């Protein structure tokens, strides 16, 4: 933990923690100059989308993305050859897994819900509430080497796993093409950078909402979804304050950002014992800072493809979108009994941006759900460039 504390200190100037969306009026002059690697990678971007950040140590190329796609779907990357990145990030579920919390290769249960990888390249920080994880290849090392819980199980098995790849002619070609200047191939770092390159390309911006609002095809959205859009952006529901902008998440970074914006909010899921506590191990930013005010503060994830990524929240504790709306309408969740009992609406650390209690008619509730479903992007879900080259993981059934 102490390492985390030191690094968060160094990053403090970059973290607009506590602020709300839009342009932070803070002084940008101290922001470090943006390092733009000149990889020449040609992004395939939806209309209206900014050019993604490229991570200086990991310039993209088509060959690296192709290596990464194979690695992402390859179960040989786990200790017992049962699990790949895709096991927890299923293409049919917009790269989430449908479980309450994730399960690693050896059956150990993760404390958190596997995140969707939709538009992950645009996030300012990675994971549910990790303020110091700011590059995708560092992120990839986490599931590879994590021991609490074991996810892929690389710790103490690195050489063995890399040898499985080294003696496969397919990977001999892919690694050399991806890292043409390297003297040594088949390193953990190259694996992490390869999967990170692939994951960077998982860009979704062609939902009915995008077609309607950015591409001039108003009819792509139903009447109900358009009414829901008004509700989403209303002061009654307040959703847009934390899930705003092109990615429906305030916490974005891209090539045009001068100050990466990392925000974490407590949205009133728990209030154990009335003191504001969240369950230990799942206290969000608090796990890094131990500051009371950081209790329960998590990143508001993108809402794109949200229809397909249930269950919801960092611990998968809300099963459906209807229940998510009920949660916000109440201003927080009431856990009536058991060890987690408490009224989240009264959590003293709840974000000021959370809506006060609101009520919705049955029709309005249908409308807001219709809006959230209009963020589903079938071109993304069915895109052959994101598909499993080994054919083990199906895309969504509606793609066929
Ligand atoms: C055992 C299941 C599991 C496996 C295997 C797994 N992940 Fe994840 N992934 C998760 C969970 C759970 C989270 C959220 C972690 C957290 O917040 O602590 C996550 C988060 C992420 C994120 C952050 C998303 C965001 O919006 O910040 C990325 C990127 C990611 N995983 C990529 C990968 C890659 C690449 C691999 C393979 C090297 C991989 N994952 C393997 C479960 C898994
Ligand atoms: C104060 C900021 C804030 C506001 C306002 C807000 N959210 Fe959230 N939202 C969050 C945070 C933070 C999370 C993740 C919380 C967690 O996991 O502990 C979240 C999670 C979600 C999720 C689950 C995402 C996932 O991938 O599991 C959905 C769906 C959602 N919000 C929808 C909405 C809707 C609809 C509204 C308006 C009624 C809204 N939010 C208003 C901050 C906010």
d(CA 175, CA 181): 11
304 ligand 2 Cβ < 6 A: no
What residue's CA is closest to ligand 1, atom 11? 114
pLDDT at 27 over 60: no
Answer whether 50-204+379-399 and 208-377 agree in fold. yes
d(CA 220, CA 199): 28
Asked if residues 321 and 304 have their Cβ atoms less than 8 Å apart, the reply is: no
Determine the pLDDT at residue 66: 98
State yes or no: cis peptide before 311, omega within 30 of 0.
Answer: yes
d(CA 72, CA 163): 17
Asked if residues 332 and 268 have their Cβ atoms less than 8 Å apart, the reply is: yes
For 108-113, what is the mean pLDDT? Answer: 98
CATH for 50-204+379-399, options being 1.10.760.10, 1.20.1090.10, 3.40.50.720, 3.90.1170.40: 1.10.760.10
Q: Which residue has the tokens 């390297």?
A: 182
Residues 6+ away with beta carbon under 8 Å from 368: 228, 231, 232, 237, 325, 360
161 ligand 1 Cβ < 6 A: no
Distance 175 CA to ligand 2 centre (A): 40
Determine the pLDDT at residue 250: 84
Q: pTM (2 decimals)? A: 0.92
Distance 395 CA to ligand 1 centre (A): 19
Distance 268 CA to ligand 1 centre (A): 24
- pLDDT, averaged across the chain: 90
Question: What's the pLDDT band for 256 if we cut at 50, 70, 90?
Answer: confident
CA-based nearest residue to 135, from 49, 253, 37, 18? 253
Distance 377 CA to ligand 1 centre (A): 21
Determine the pLDDT at residue 12: 36
What residue's CA is closest to ligand 1, atom 36? 85
d(CA 204, CA 160): 36
pLDDT at 166 over 90: yes
pLDDT at 30 over 50: no
Our CA angle for 208, 371, 123, nearest 5°, is 75
Asked if residues 284 and 264 have their Cβ atoms less than 8 Å apart, the reply is: yes
- Classified by CATH at the fold level, domain 208-377 comes out as Cytochrome Bc1 Complex; Chain D, domain 2 (1.10.760)
309 ligand 2 Cβ < 6 A: yes
pLDDT at 33 over 70: no
pLDDT at 337 over 70: yes
Percent of the chain with pLDDT over 90: 85
Percent of the chain with pLDDT over 70: 90
- What ranges do the domains of the chain cover? 50-204+379-399, 208-377
């Amino acid at each position: 933990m102490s390492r985390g504390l030191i690094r968060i200190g160094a990053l403090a100037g970059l973290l607009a923690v506590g602020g709300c969306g839009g342009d932070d009026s803070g002084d940008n002059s101290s922001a470090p100059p943006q390092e733009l690697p000149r990889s020449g990678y040609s992004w395939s971007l939806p209309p209206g989308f900014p050019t993604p950040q490229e991570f200086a140590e990991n310039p993209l190329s088509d060959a690296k993305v192709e290596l990464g796609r194979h690695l992402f779907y390859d179960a040989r990357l786990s200790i017992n050859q049962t699990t790949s990145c895709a096991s927890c990030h299923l293409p049919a579920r917009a790269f989430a897994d449908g479980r309450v919390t994730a399960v690693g290769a050896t059956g150990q249960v993760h404390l958190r819900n596997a995140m969707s990888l939709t538009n992950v390249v645009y996030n300012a920080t990675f994971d549910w509430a990790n303020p110091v994880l700011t590059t995708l290849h560092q992120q990839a090392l986490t599931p590879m080497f994590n021991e609490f819980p074991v996810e892929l199980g690389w710790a103490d098995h690195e050489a063995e796993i890399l040898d499985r790849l080294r003696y496969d002619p397919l990977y001999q070609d892919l690694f050399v093409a991806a890292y043409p200047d390297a003297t040594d191939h088949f390193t953990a770092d190259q694996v992490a950078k390869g999967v990170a390159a692939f994951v960077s390309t998982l860009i979704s911006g062609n939902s009915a909402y995008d077609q309607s609002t950015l591409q001039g095809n108003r009819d792509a959205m139903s009447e109900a979804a358009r009414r829901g859009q008004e509700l989403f952006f209303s002061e009654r529901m307040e959703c847009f304050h934390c899930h705003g902008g092109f990615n429906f998440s305030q916490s974005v970074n891209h090539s045009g950002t001068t100050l990466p914006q990392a925000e974490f909010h407590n949205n009133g899921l728990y209030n154990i014992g009335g003191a504001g506590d969240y369950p230990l191990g799942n206290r969000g930013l608090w796990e890094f800072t131990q500051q009371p005010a950081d209790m329960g503060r998590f990143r508001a994830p993108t809402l794109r493809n949200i229809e397909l990524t249930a269950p919801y929240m960092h611990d998968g504790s809300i099963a459906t979108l209807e229940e998510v709306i009920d949660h916000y309408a109440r201003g927080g969740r009431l856990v009536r009994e058991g060890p987690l009992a408490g009224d989240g609406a009264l959590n003293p650390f709840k974000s000021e941006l959370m809506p006060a209690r609101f009520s919705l008619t049955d029709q309005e509730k249908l409308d807001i759900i219709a809006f959230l479903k209009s963020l589903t992007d079938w071109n993304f879900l069915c895109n052959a460039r994101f598909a499993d080259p080994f054919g083990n993981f199906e895309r969504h059934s509606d793609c066929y």
